[in-house]
Amino acid sequence: MGTSGVFTTVLISDPTTGSVYSDKTGSKDDFGKDLPLQTDSICSSLKENKCTFLQGDVPTLSKASRPLTKSWLKNLKKGDKVDALDYTNNWFTAEITKISGGPKYKIHFDDWESKWDEEMLWNSGRLAKHKTHAKGGRLIGGILGQKIIVDELPETEYDPLPKKKTQFALGGQTNLVSQIQSALTNLLSQAQGEAGSDVQVTTQQKQKKQPKKKKFKDPKMEEFLNSLQIGQQIDGLDGYGMWFTGRVVKINGDKAYIKFDDWEDKWSEWIDRFSGRITRYKTIAKGGQHSGGVKHPRLQLFKPK
């Protein structure tokens, strides 16, 4: 910076007490005023391209992170690092490799083969700033999450957040109507009883519809899942979207405790037998941890309604 710039005295305060260090040093600032005692080579005066270093404690300052904005999402460039949500709802760090109209971004997930690259629209809710949702790529492991509601993001970092859309609370309305109907019925019953009427007023309550039992696409898969036994070998989908061979260790109702082959016990987990994360042995997976796993979505077991 040139010598014609205007500079002022920097006063350093104690972050604990708030008091300002005011001991004079005998040095002057650019306006001829006394400078306070400071430490750690804090520059408070620039004159003739020379900096006078004084002594004093300086509070640590950190840069506030900027919010995710629609403008940021629309203006990503090739090579930019981002966080991306894969189809198994796990966040990984990733890189923009291609941009097309929309804009639509082609995403390469860190440490994954290129065959797992995906295209995502800017407003898909599956993109975020680098390492705000993910810790790393495949080697670190994904972070289970969900899509971002892009409509609730500001246009730029200087704009206020849009108001969140509120849903009409039908549940409260329905409950209030039921209470009113019940009160009116009671009043009518009392009036008829006082008049000696033999007519009894009854209210018909709607019976809750029993949910229809879901129908399996494959009867053999239904039979397999219903007959799981302790010690049985299976293929299982872990929490990071990878299929490995494993074994049923425990069973509790509709849940099975799965030990994945070659993995430590801490990676074992309870899995709902009808979640689409359990199937016949080696129909998807090639083996345990040493096989590297097979990336494949969870199975769709049931017929659409």
Report the 3 state secondary structure along 78-98.
CCCEEEEECCCCEEEEEEEEE
For residue 212, give Cα distances in angstroms to 71, 160, 272, 304.
46, 46, 19, 12
From the list 102, 116, 107, the residue with the least C-alpha distance to 83 is 107
Beta-sheet strands, E only, within 13-73: 24-28, 34-36, 42-47, 50-54
pLDDT at 106: 96
Whole-model pTM: value is: 0.39
Please tell me the distance from the alpha carbon of residue 70 to that of residue 287, in angstroms, as a whole number.
43
Supply the pLDDT for residue 230.
93
CATH 2.30.30.140 boundaries in the chain = 70-152, 219-295
- Number of other residues whose CB lies within 10 A of the CB of residue 67: 13
For the segment 8-39, what is each residue's pLDDT rounded down to a tens digit? 445 555 556 655 555 555 666 666 666 665 44
CATH topology of domain 70-152: SH3 type barrels. (2.30.30)
Cα distances from 57 to residues 16, 36, 37, 46, 246, in angstroms, run 11, 12, 9, 20, 58
Output the CATH code of domain 219-295: 2.30.30.140
pLDDT of residue 74: 94
Closest CA to 299 of 237, 206, 245: 237
Tokens 């409260």: give the residue. Answer: 172
| pLDDT score, position 226 | 93
In contact, 43 and 53? CB cutoff 8 Å = yes
Q: Specify the pLDDT at position 97.
A: 96
pLDDT of residue 261: 94
pLDDT in tens, 246-270: 999 999 999 999 999 999 988 999 9
> Which regions in the chain score pLDDT beneath 70?
1-66, 164-178, 191-212
